[in-house]
């Protein structure tokens, strides 16, 4: 692990602060380190790896989607059966060391305020001020639990996909998996190999096959980009791309594991239930466990004092630049919320941010 730079107490002033040292923050910091600008990289986690360090141990490298390498350094050759959490955390640690990125951790940014010439950051390790900001805080710290009636009534176990550590601990129990995203499908398939499951989703899942090529990928990113430019919430990646049809998916379908049901209306003391509709009679199902694989929301609470939310619930961006606050860029949000998207967006955000700061200097 790279030597962490000591966290200083008291006021610290720098030109640019990058918040978050996941894929998005590291790609921005890599670009900043090449400019000679004074910057700080703050991260609330105790160790390297961003969200990857927390992903469930049974998520093997070959079962993750493609993980794009960070700019300037290839991913290591690793056993494809190794946990992605370990491989990526080790890779990030080596990256920080090689490019001397000196992440300050653990430093949680609690609130960002405007000042006359930039921003003041209230953090768990004192106050920082900066002229420009790159916020790259991902989504992992904000698991989304939808509100369903009866959640307090249910006597079984409820857990979120973020807390799932592997199927072994669920052996012998019936598990209802809620959610139509990639994590839901990956965890459902694993669990179904050891115990009985029921899959419920709000909408009929859309599967993508070999016809999902680079053009389709670009179209999906463009769709999210349009939403963000319009100030709407970016929406989930899967809502734009569909679910990937893999060998594991085909095998699970053949076992009947992917026969999905519409999501229930409420939880009961011992399970889940739905009222009768025109399409089906009233239903109820006993279960021991409800696994909420219901996704995550962007971790943006620290930006609340800036009042950036548009009426549509999102933050209006032009690329990564916040339209209402041009000295702030969001990387890993909306169209850049993938490893490949974050890689490209980090350096672009830095170029644009430094141009904005230089233009301000010239105007003085």
Ligand X SMILES: Cc1cc2nc3c(=O)[nH]c(=O)nc-3n(C[C@H](O)[C@H](O)[C@H](O)COP(=O)(O)OP(=O)(O)OC[C@H]3O[C@@H](n4cnc5c(N)ncnc54)[C@H](O)[C@@H]3O)c2cc1C
Strands 118-123 and 109-115, sheet pairing: antiparallel
- Residue 29 or 272: the one with the smaller Cβ distance to ligand X is 29
Q: How far is CA 12 from CA 9, 107, 122, 167, 261, in A?
A: 8, 13, 11, 45, 54
Minimum distance, C-beta of residue 213 to ligand X, in the bound complex (Å): 17
x/- mask, ligand X, residues 185-224, rule CB under 6 A, reads: ----------------------------------------
Which residues, numbered 282-311, are part of the site for ligand X (CB under 6 A)? 296, 299, 302
Query: With contact defined as beta carbons under 8 Å apart, do 73 and 55 qualify?
Result: no
Which of 40, 41, 109, 257 lies at the binding interface for ligand X (CB under 6 A)?
109
Query: With contact defined as beta carbons under 8 Å apart, do 107 and 121 qualify?
Result: no
228 near ligand X (CB under 6 A): no
12 near ligand X (CB under 6 A): no
Query: With contact defined as beta carbons under 8 Å apart, do 232 and 312 qualify?
Result: yes
241 near ligand X (CB under 6 A): no
Which segment (64-72, 165-173, 217-225, 262-270) binds ligand X by CB under 6 A? 64-72
Q: What is the largest CA-CA distance in the chain?
A: 71
- Residue 99 or 296: the one with the smaller Cβ distance to ligand X is 296
CA 342, distance to chain mean position in Å, is: 11
Residues 6+ apart with CB under 8 A from 229: 316, 317, 318
Query: With contact defined as beta carbons under 8 Å apart, do 175 and 197 qualify?
Result: yes
Which segment (143-151, 197-205, 266-274, 339-347) binds ligand X by CB under 6 A? 339-347
Number of residues that bind ligand X (CB under 6 A): 35
348 near ligand X (CB under 6 A): no
Q: Please state, in angstroms and rounded to a whole number, the distance separating the CA atoms of residues 329 and 321.
A: 4
- Residue 154 or 296: the one with the smaller Cβ distance to ligand X is 296
- Residue 42 or 267: the one with the smaller Cβ distance to ligand X is 42
240 near ligand X (CB under 6 A): no
Which segment (195-203, 205-213, 221-229, 338-346) binds ligand X by CB under 6 A? 338-346
Token couple for 294: 């219901």
Tell me the β-bridge partners of 189: none
x/- mask, ligand X, residues 20-49, rule CB under 6 A, reads: xxxxxx----------------xxxx----
x/- mask, ligand X, residues 154-183, rule CB under 6 A, reads: -----------------------------x
Minimum distance, C-beta of residue 350 to ligand X, in the bound complex (Å): 15
**359 preceded by cis ω (within 30°)?**
no
Q: Please state, in angstroms and rounded to a whole number, the distance separating the CA atoms of residues 116 and 209.
A: 52
- Residue 61 or 267: the one with the smaller Cβ distance to ligand X is 61
Minimum distance, C-beta of residue 259 to ligand X, in the bound complex (Å): 23
- Residue 274 or 294: the one with the smaller Cβ distance to ligand X is 294
343 near ligand X (CB under 6 A): no
Minimum distance, C-beta of residue 264 to ligand X, in the bound complex (Å): 23
Q: Percent helix, strand and coil across the chain, each rounded to 5? A: 30, 25, 45
118 near ligand X (CB under 6 A): no
Minimum distance, C-beta of residue 153 to ligand X, in the bound complex (Å): 29
Q: How far is CA 280 from CA 200, 262, 274, in A?
A: 15, 10, 9
x/- mask, ligand X, residues 318-337, rule CB under 6 A, reads: --------------x----x
**Interface residue list for ligand X (CB under 6 A):** 19-25, 42-45, 50-51, 55, 64-67, 108-109, 136-138, 140-141, 183, 296, 299, 302, 332, 337-340, 342
């Amino acid at each position: 692990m790279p030597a962490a730079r000591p966290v200083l107490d008291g006021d610290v002033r720098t030109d640019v602060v990058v918040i978050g040292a996941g894929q998005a923050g590291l790609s921005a910091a890599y670009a900043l380190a090449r400019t000679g600008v004074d910057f700080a990289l703050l991260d609330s986690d105790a160790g390297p790896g961003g969200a990857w360090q927390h992903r469930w141990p049974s998520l093997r490298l070959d079962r993750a989607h493609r993980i794009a390498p960070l700019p300037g350094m290839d991913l290591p050759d690793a056993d494809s059966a190794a946990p992605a959490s370990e491989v990526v955390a080790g890779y990030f640690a080596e990256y920080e060391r090689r490019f001397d990125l000196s992440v300050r951790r653990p430093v949680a940014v609690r609130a960002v305020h405007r000042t006359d010439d930039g921003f003041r950051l209230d953090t768990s390790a004192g106050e920082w001020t900066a002229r420009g900001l790159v916020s790259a805080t991902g989504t992992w710290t904000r698991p989304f639990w939808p509100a369903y009636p009866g959640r307090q009534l249910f006597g079984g176990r409820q857990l979120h996909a973020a807390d799932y550590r592997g199927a072994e601990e669920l052996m012998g129990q019936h598990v209802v998996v809620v959610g139509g995203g990639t994590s839901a499908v990956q965890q459902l398939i694993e669990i179904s190999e050891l115990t009985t499951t029921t899959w419920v989703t709000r909408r009929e899942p859309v599967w993508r096959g070999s016809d999902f090529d680079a053009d389709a990928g670009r179209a999906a990113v463009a769709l999210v980009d349009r939403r963000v430019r319009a100030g709407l919430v970016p929406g989930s990646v899967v809502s734009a791309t569909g679910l990937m049809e893999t060998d594991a998916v085909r095998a699970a379908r053949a076992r009947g594991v992917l026969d999905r049901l519409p999501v229930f209306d409420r939880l009961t003391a011992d399970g889940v239930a739905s009222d009768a509709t025109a399409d089906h009679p009233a239903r109820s199902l006993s279960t021991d466990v409800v696994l909420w694989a219901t996704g995550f929301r962007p971790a943006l609470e620290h930006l609340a004092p800036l009042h950036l939310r548009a009426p549509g619930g999102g933050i209006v961006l032009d690329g990564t630049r916040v339209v209402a606050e041009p000295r702030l860029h969001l990387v890993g949000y909306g169209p850049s919320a993938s490893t490949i998207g974050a890689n490209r967006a980090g350096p672009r955000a830095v170029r644009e941010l430094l141009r904005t700061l230089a233009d301000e200097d010239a105007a003085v």
